[in-house]
A and B are shown apart, each in its own frame.
Chain A
Amino acid sequence: MIQAKAQVILRSLWHYRGFMAGSVRREFQARYRNSMLGAAWMVLNPLAMIVVYTVIFSQLMHARLPNASSQFSYGIYLCAGLLTWGFFTETVSRLQNVFLENGNLIKKLNFPRICLPVITVMNAGLNFSIIFGLFLGFLLISGNFPGWVLLGMLPLLLIQVLFAVGLGIVLGVLNVFFRDIGQLFGIVLQFWFWFTPIVYTVSTLPAKVQTLLKFNPMTALIGAYQGIFVSGLWPQWSDLWPVTLLSIALCAFGMLLFRRHAGEMVDEL
């Protein structure tokens, strides 16, 4: 039963692959179409961000990680957390608006709705790969490339995308019926960011707060990224079980919510 449904979904996604690829391409073209430098902006913006975090923080402000060797280590620590966190928030916050933004399309055309979240994730993924590619380039040049341990990122990214998709679809469906969700989540994200060790390290916090941080599903993920890039350590897989299970549960709940309310959603848009 479930297998048959999954097959139907996959088949319709495959059938509409041209549409999805076109949508992703179109979004990128639309963003830079009327600018003179065009696609260069795709690289310049993230480049500026990486330069700010690595060069300026490390070189000018002399921010250092406790007991770290490289002069760039704090910049790398920042980037490892910020870039992946950025990918996460971009995915979730765009997913929560995906049905609202495409309301007209959903109401007037009959096509597999599941394409829309897929396009969103692909877009966010593409943005992330550009900025992350630049970051890897910087690591290579500055001699901080982590080596094989980089492969540890793949399962981490998979879990993160699952988590973001599950959360994003749940919020996206709810947001159609309760528009407050979108506003509320903007605030939640701000607190969530500072409640995750991205710009600071866990060890600088009092022990009480450290325990509290363990309940934040992003702590384990971000920590694992930072481990790979700063210390060249493979992720502690045992730490990642809770967030993985949570992600699967969220995805299942999101699909259930979507299936149950898809019809009513069209009426509400």
Chain B
Amino acid sequence: MGKVTVKNLGKAYKSYDGRWARLAEWILPFARQRHQLHWVLQDIGFQLEAGEAVGIVGINGAGKSTLLKLIAGTTQATTGSVAIQGRVAALLELGMGFHADFTGRQNAVMAGQLQGLSGAEIEELMPAIEAFAEIGEYIDQPVRTYSSGMQMRLAFSVATASRPDVLIVDEALSVGDAYFQHKSFERIREFRRAGTTLLIVSHDRYAIQTICDRAILLNRGKLEMQGDPVEVMDFYNAMLAEKEQQTVRQERLADGRLRTISGTGEASIASVALLDDDGRQLEVVEVGTHVTLEVRVAINAPVSRLVMGYMIKDKLGQSIFGINSHRLGMPQADLQPGEDLVYRCRFPMNLGKGSYSVAISLSRLDSHLDTNYEWRDYSVIFHVINTRHPDFVGCAFLDAEMAVERSHGRASVSKDGVTA
């Protein structure tokens, strides 16, 4: 149960020359074809094993939602096939079919029936739906009095009231307040642990990297890449900045990680190193010591303005700290071919223990999305260890102090004068 097989899937929309063209094609026998096929998805093939979680990423219009609709079965494929074992629940759009004049409870029943649940099943699930939505008395009020967040809560609760074998989630989920977002992701994780296969579209790097085992990158309706979420997200990130002349390449590092390098190449990264104060290269860094990130840049073609930025990421690919020379007020201007630059960035390694990587970007402005001379993930990889400080938890080292006071007596007066 929960296995999804997608084979050679393609979807094309028909576009007709004019209003009468379709009629002519329908009515006139042996008439020539009067439509063009407009392909939005082509040659998509992949397989989801039961219990696997796969994220789909891609820019707007890459075909992500179409792919989900094809798998959910609301849209018919033009070519290829989708085979699914087990019950599918699709959260393509929440609150579909809610009627404003009816109470939350009535709408919940209706939405459940629309999913194919029977009245008795819904009755049984109702307390859980109410509890999860946390909208209190509002459950018996007309939905028209709800805030959009409350409607979302109820809709999500109903849609996920019973665990499906396959869950398909569109980015619609990213509405609602932070608390409920967190809660809904927790429910999805719970389903995963219980064996639900998950297919999720999201632009949220964090969501993809923490939930998914695998990611699929769609580009212009084609499957561009699939594999480890971090690697796919790096490639996607590089692709976002894609411009003419730009190259994106990925190379396998010695430890098996995939490094993504992209850019137009007017300026390039010659070397990157992490040094201690004596100039020795580091791979292992003690918590709290000062280090210098040394970035050497070569100019290959005239560059009107250059900004160097670095980003420290943890092993899940989450950004820990990043800054650039633009924000620090030292962008360089009018660089000529043959010039070399050395950036030295000194900072205390106030990070928790673990493995980190540094991504370097060379761009014209603050963001690499405008002009990307070079972007290099995994420029340096280092490990932070803790031997001198008490063992702590988390990714930030705050060098915290602690004081404690003990006293006798029943009543003690606290600082703001309230008797405890």
CB contacts under 8 Å to A, within B85-124, are 88, 90, 92-93, 96-97, 99, 101-102, 106, 109-110, 113-119
Establish whether residues B113 and A26, one from each chain, have CB atoms under 8 Å apart when the complex forms: no
Known contacts A18-B118, A18-B119, A266-B74; A109 and B88 CB within 8 A of each other: no
Establish whether residues A267 and B14, one from each chain, have CB atoms under 8 Å apart when the complex forms: yes
A214 interfacial by beta-carbon distance below 8 Å: no
Establish whether residues A109 and B96, one from each chain, have CB atoms under 8 Å apart when the complex forms: yes
Cβ contacts under 8 Å, B97 to chain A:
105, 109
Interface 1/0 per residue, A246-269 and B, CB below 8 Å: 000000000000000011101100
Cβ contacts under 8 Å, B118 to chain A:
18
B403 interfacial by beta-carbon distance below 8 Å: no
Interface 1/0 per residue, A4-42 and B, CB below 8 Å: 000000000001101100110010011001100000000
Establish whether residues A110 and B102, one from each chain, have CB atoms under 8 Å apart when the complex forms: no
Give A residues with C-beta under 8 Å from B: 15-16, 18-19, 22-23, 26, 29-30, 33-34, 104-111, 177-178, 262-264, 266-267
Q: How far is the CA of A262 from the CA of B90 in the complex (A)?
A: 20
Known contacts A266-B76, A267-B75; A111 and B102 CB within 8 A of each other: no
Given contacts A16-B113, A22-B113, A26-B99, 16 further A-B contacts (CB under 8 A): A18-B118, A26-B106, A30-B99, A33-B101, A33-B102, A105-B96, A108-B96, A109-B74, A109-B97, A111-B115, A111-B116, A177-B26, A262-B76, A263-B75, A264-B76, A266-B76
How many residues from B make CB contacts under 8 Å with A?
30
Establish whether residues A108 and B110, one from each chain, have CB atoms under 8 Å apart when the complex forms: no
| Number of A-B residue pairs at CB separation under 8 A | 68
Q: How far is the CA of A106 from the CA of B69 in the complex (A)?
A: 11
Establish whether residues B13 and A267, one from each chain, have CB atoms under 8 Å apart when the complex forms: yes
User: Given A15, A22, A106, A263, which contacts B110 in the complex, CB threshold below 8 Å?
Assistant: A22
Cβ contacts under 8 Å, B76 to chain A:
262-264, 266
15 chain-A/chain-B pairs, Cβ below 8 angstroms: A16-B113, A19-B110, A22-B109, A104-B96, A105-B96, A105-B114, A107-B75, A108-B74, A109-B96, A110-B72, A111-B116, A262-B76, A263-B76, A266-B74, A267-B13
Establish whether residues B113 and A19, one from each chain, have CB atoms under 8 Å apart when the complex forms: yes
* Interface of chain A: mostly helix, strand, loop or mixed: helix
Q: How far is the CA of A219 from the CA of B75 in the complex (A)?
A: 42
B178 interfacial by beta-carbon distance below 8 Å: no
Q: How far is the CA of A131 from the CA of B69 in the complex (A)?
A: 43
* Chain A proximity of B160: nearest CB distance (Å): 15
Closest 5 CB pairs of A and B: A263-B76, A19-B113, A110-B73, A18-B113, A108-B93
Cβ contacts under 8 Å, A111 to chain B:
114-116
Cβ contacts under 8 Å, A30 to chain B:
99, 101-102
* Chain A proximity of B20: nearest CB distance (Å): 10
Establish whether residues B88 and A26, one from each chain, have CB atoms under 8 Å apart when the complex forms: no
Q: Which residue of B lies closest to A266 (CB)?
A: B75
Q: How far is the CA of A16 from the CA of B115 in the complex (A)?
A: 9
* Chain A proximity of B256: nearest CB distance (Å): 40
* Chain A proximity of B17: nearest CB distance (Å): 15
Cβ contacts under 8 Å, B102 to chain A:
26, 29-30, 33
Establish whether residues A26 and B116, one from each chain, have CB atoms under 8 Å apart when the complex forms: no
* Chain A proximity of B126: nearest CB distance (Å): 14
* Chain B proximity of A38: nearest CB distance (Å): 13
Q: Which residue of A lies closest to B109 (CB)?
A: A22
Q: How far is the CA of A109 from the CA of B14 in the complex (A)?
A: 22
Q: Which residue of B lies closest to A115 (CB)?
A: B114
Establish whether residues B96 and A19, one from each chain, have CB atoms under 8 Å apart when the complex forms: no
B253 interfacial by beta-carbon distance below 8 Å: no
Cβ contacts under 8 Å, A109 to chain B:
74, 90, 92, 96-97, 114-115
Establish whether residues B74 and A110, one from each chain, have CB atoms under 8 Å apart when the complex forms: yes
Q: Which residue of A lies closest to B121 (CB)?
A: A18
* Chain B proximity of A86: nearest CB distance (Å): 26
Q: How far is the CA of A2 from the CA of B189 in the complex (A)?
A: 43
Q: Which residue of B lies closest to A23 (CB)?
A: B110
